[in-house]
């Protein structure tokens, strides 16, 4: 692709092209070559592992100035992989359809709209010949919707070895709720998955004294698990709540008690509560009954200081463009922003509305993508 093809703010055309790649996790489908052609001034590093493709594009604007002082490094990040489209679409999910001010296609909101916005913002910024006092980069992965083990996390590990970790990062996940610019994410809750097994002794219901019913063992304690808050939350986070997702036991008959009972649950934890806190609470609660508990932290919580430069600049740009300030939120599921936070990178998430992510007939409002591009361009000009 020639640079001239995306001049004059043709963000929509870039997004259409991105949607046309059927990049279901962990497929990359050639998207990186397409983006590299848009930003040929950037050096490219590839970090591929176990079928996952990651690319890091960067340009040091201070390289020719022979300065020994450390320069700021701003990174735009995102994922090009999408979830499977599923059945029942009204149009072909990988054939972008423009209709009534929207662009339909898998990944339109999550998150090829965001990728198109920052790629085109960078292109326009470069074409304007304005100065940037530092390093500007792009980090993309093909494994955010999957296990995310060999995606952004792995790429950041490799960048740390090369002393190329960013100071600041903007992840263009869809963050808005009702209208563009109403919310950005400055943190995320963590996620802890749990599996609890209560052991009993199977028997005939007519002889309950010969049985040990695990349902009866757990019943008095269930209120201390289901919907229980381990902390009271904070100004930034909701309480860390245990949410039961599955309970099963027995043989689906009415005259035999089960030998064991399995409970699966999840807790989206704030920075106030960790896995060890949950472990200690449950082991104490269940100390009198035979059980086995398994806990796994699939992601850790993080919170970016709202007085930090990247948050302040993003709020300033959005407020100047929209006429109102965005809400600073930590709501929602997990994202790759958590990995940046783990490496000490100050990170914020900003994108389009998220009302149709992962759904049938996913779509994005075209004006939102253009507005997001303008926000990112303004951020570059004022950073």
Active-site residue, from 28, 81, 173, 370: 81
Query: Is the pLDDT assigned to residue 323 strictly greater than 50?
Result: yes
pLDDT score at 241: 97
Q: What is the mean pLDDT of residues 190-213?
A: 97
pLDDT score at 4: 39
Closest CA to 83 of 56, 111, 102, 113: 111
| % of the chain exceeding 70 in pLDDT | 97
CA distances 43 to 136, 203, 223, Å, are 11, 69, 56
Residues 6+ apart with CB under 8 A from 104: 90, 91, 96, 97, 98, 361, 362, 363
pLDDT score at 265: 98
**Dihedral sign, CA of 164, 166, 172, 177?**
positive
| % of the chain exceeding 90 in pLDDT | 93
Closest CA to 107 of 377, 379, 361: 361
Query: Is the pLDDT assigned to residue 284 strictly greater than 60?
Result: yes
Contact 48, 139 (CB under 8 A): no
Q: What is the mean pLDDT of residues 199-211?
A: 96
Contact 301, 315 (CB under 8 A): no
Is residue 41 flagged as an active site residue?
no
My answer on whether omega of the bond before 159 falls inside 30° of 0, hence cis, is: no
Average pLDDT across the chain, whole number: 95
Tokens of 212: 């040990």
Contact 130, 189 (CB under 8 A): no
pLDDT score at 131: 86
Q: What is the mean pLDDT of residues 183-190?
A: 96
Tokens of 130: 């304005």
- Spell out the alpha helix ranges (H) of the chain: 11-20, 31-38, 113-127, 152-161, 214-218, 275-285, 309-322, 337-342, 366-382
CATH 3.30.70.360 boundaries in the chain: 191-299
Question: What is the distance between the alpha carbons of residues 64 and 171, in angstroms, rounded to a whole number?
Answer: 28
pLDDT score at 9: 53
CATH 3.40.630.10 boundaries in the chain: 3-188+301-382
Q: What is the mean pLDDT of residues 93-110?
A: 97
* 63 band by pLDDT with thresholds 50, 70 and 90: confident
Is residue 81 flagged as an active site residue?
yes
Query: Is the pLDDT assigned to residue 1 strictly greater than 80?
Result: no
For residue range 270-279, what is the model confidence (pLDDT) as tens digits?
A: 999 999 999 9
- Spell out the alpha helix ranges (H) of 49-201: 113-127, 152-161
Residue identified by tokens 């340009």 is 59
Query: Is the pLDDT assigned to residue 7 strictly greater than 50?
Result: no
CATH topology for the 191-299 domain: Alpha-Beta Plaits (3.30.70)
CATH of span 3-188+301-382:
3.40.630.10
CA distances 173 to 51, 203, 247, 337, Å, are 23, 53, 33, 9
Active-site residue, from 28, 110, 143, 144: 144
Within the chain, how many helices (H) and strands (E) appear? 9, 19
The helix or strand, by DSSP H or E, that contains position 167, with its residue range, turns out to be none
Q: What is the mean pLDDT of residues 310-339?
A: 95
SS3 215: helix
Q: What is the mean pLDDT of residues 90-112?
A: 97
Question: What is the distance between the alpha carbons of residues 286 and 264, in angstroms, rounded to a whole number?
Answer: 15
């Amino acid at each position: 692709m020639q640079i001239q093809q995306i001049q004059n703010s043709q963000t929509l055309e870039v997004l259409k092209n991105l949607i046309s790649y059927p990049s279901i996790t962990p497929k990359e489908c050639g998207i990186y070559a397409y983006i590299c052609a848009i930003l040929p001034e950037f050096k490219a590093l590839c970090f591929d592992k176990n079928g996952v493709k990651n690319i890091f594009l960067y340009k040091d604007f201070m390289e020719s100035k022979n300065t020994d002082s450390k320069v700021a490094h701003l990174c735009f990040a995102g994922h090009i992989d999408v979830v499977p489209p599923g059945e029942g679409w009204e149009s072909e999910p990988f054939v972008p359809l423009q209709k009534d001010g929207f662009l339909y296609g898998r990944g339109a909101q999550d998150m090829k709209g965001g990728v198109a916005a920052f790629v085109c913002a960078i292109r326009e910024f470069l074409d304007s010949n304005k100065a940037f006092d530092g390093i500007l980069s792009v980090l993309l992965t093909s494994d955010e919707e999957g296990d995310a083990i060999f995606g952004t996390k792995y790429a950041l590990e490799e960048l740390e070895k090369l002393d190329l970790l960013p100071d600041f990062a903007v992840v263009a996940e869809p963050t808005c709720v009702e209208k563009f610019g109403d919310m950005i994410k400055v943190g995320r809750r963590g996620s802890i998955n749990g599996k609890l097994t209560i052991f009993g002794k199977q028997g005939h219901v007519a002889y309950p004294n010969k049985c040990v019913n695990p349902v009866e063992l757990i019943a008095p304690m269930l209120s201390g698990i289901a919907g229980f808050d381990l902390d009271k939350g904070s100004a930034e986070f909701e309480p860390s709540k245990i949410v039961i997702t599955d309970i099963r036991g027995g043989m689906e008959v009415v005259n035999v008690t089960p030998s064991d009972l399995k409970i699966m649950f999840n807790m989206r934890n704030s920075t106030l509560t960790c896995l060890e806190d949950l472990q200690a609470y449950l082991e104490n609660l269940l100390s009198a009954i035979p059980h086995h508990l398994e806990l796994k932290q699939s992601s850790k919580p993080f919170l970016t200081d709202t007085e930090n430069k990247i948050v302040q600049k993003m709020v300033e740009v959005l407020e100047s463009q929209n006429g109102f300030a965005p809400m600073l939120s930590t709501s929602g599921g997990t994202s790759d922003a958590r990995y940046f936070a783990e490496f000490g990178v100050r990170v914020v998430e900003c994108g389009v509305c998220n009302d149709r992510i992962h759904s049938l007939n996913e779509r994005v409002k075209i004006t939102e993508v253009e507005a997001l591009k303008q926000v990112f361009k303004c951020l570059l000009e004022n950073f």
